[in-house]
Amino acid sequence: MVLEKLRQLYPELTKSQRRLADFIATSYREAAFMTASRLARRLGVNEATVIRFAQRLGYSGYPELVQDIRAIVQDELYATSLTTDEAAASDVFFGMLAREVDGLQRSTGHFTADAIHGVLSALRVARRVVVVGQGIAFPLAQLFSASLRLAGVPASCPQPDALELAALLDEVGEGWLVVGISVAPESIEIARALRYAGEQGARTVALTWSPISPAAQVADWAISCPADDLFPLPSVAALTTLIDALVQTVAMENRQAVTERMAQVARVNESIIARRRR
């Protein structure tokens, strides 16, 4: 097996060969579909080095090395498929888990680059962010708002009460971003809140179960995660992952500031706990 050969021979490899070994060890799924010339260009070595590397591992040439790498990928795919099929057939929980994973993979096909970049750009420049959700979507709105605050974004989440939402939206204007999260069955109030915010000059985002939901229809940007009618209850796995990915992207762009903020939050928390003990 190629990975075991790399482990055994790594100390004896040249600097260029180690570069190849490092790439294959960590990115063998990508390497499995690369020619010798493409791999050489990717790692900044010449093609002859790639061929000698394959021979150093005991292969007659590069094609034989690639064949061994592809065998690993095929084994992994077969094992994953077998595990999923067996789980779905023998255990309800693992069957549901496999279906959630499948739903998440399908959802990524609904995300357009323009919508994702638009939402991220709006989060970066917003003077204030308001995240709204009702019913099962309210905890998701709280999660998104709290996570954004940790990332340094001025975000808030009003209670799912019409009067409090109205009071907050009365302040909305240019420079604000209002995010509505909707899960089927959808609350029409979320769409109305987005429409009102847009009329006051705010930018609006809908994170929703369908591209044709009421919230999606009135928002500046809409990102939809398709609903699976095979579930007895609305699934929030894809929406939750989408929310986390957006927050992590924002945080990654300001990693140092976020790290410092997290440390400060931890210090404040320790101070509060210490005072309670007195």
| Residue 196 in this model has a pLDDT that exceeds 70 | yes
| Residue 263 in this model has a pLDDT that exceeds 90 | no
Length of the chain: 278
Give the Cα separation of 184 and 169 in Å (integer).
24
Q: Tell me if the domain spanning 2-73 has CATH number 1.10.10.10.
A: yes
Within its chain, how far is the Cα of 86 from the centroid? 27
Percent with pLDDT over 90 in the chain: 44
In this prediction, residues 125-131 reach a mean pLDDT of: 96
Average pLDDT, the chain: 85
Q: What is the pLDDT of residue 108?
A: 76
Q: What is the pLDDT of residue 210?
A: 80
What CATH number is given for 108-264 in this structure?
A: 3.40.50.10490
Confidence of residue 82 (pLDDT cuts 50, 70, 90): very low
Q: What is the pLDDT of residue 227?
A: 66
In this prediction, residues 18-33 reach a mean pLDDT of: 87
| Residue 145 in this model has a pLDDT that exceeds 90 | yes
Q: What is the largest CA-CA distance in the chain?
A: 75
Angle at 165 between CA 177 and CA 118, to 5 degrees: 15
State if pTM tops 0.75. no
pLDDT digits (tens, 9 = 90+) for 222-243: 888 876 666 777 788 889 999 9
Select the more confidently predicted residue: 165 or 158.
158
Give the Cα separation of 60 and 111 in Å (integer).
44
Positive or negative torsion for Cα 123, 153, 147, 141:
negative
In this prediction, residues 26-52 reach a mean pLDDT of: 91
Element (H, E) at 212: none
Q: How many CB atoms lie within 10 A of CB 43?
A: 16
Counting Cβ atoms within 10 Å, is residue 165 exposed (0-12), middle (13-18) or buried (19+)?
buried
Domain with CATH 1.10.10.10 in the chain: 2-73
Give the Cα separation of 63 and 74 in Å (integer).
16
| Residue 98 in this model has a pLDDT that exceeds 80 | no
Q: What is the pLDDT of residue 194?
A: 95
**Parallel, antiparallel, or unpaired for β 155-156 and 203-208?**
unpaired
Domain with CATH 3.40.50.10490 in the chain: 108-264
**Closest residue by Cα to residue 160 from 129, 184, 181, 185:** 181
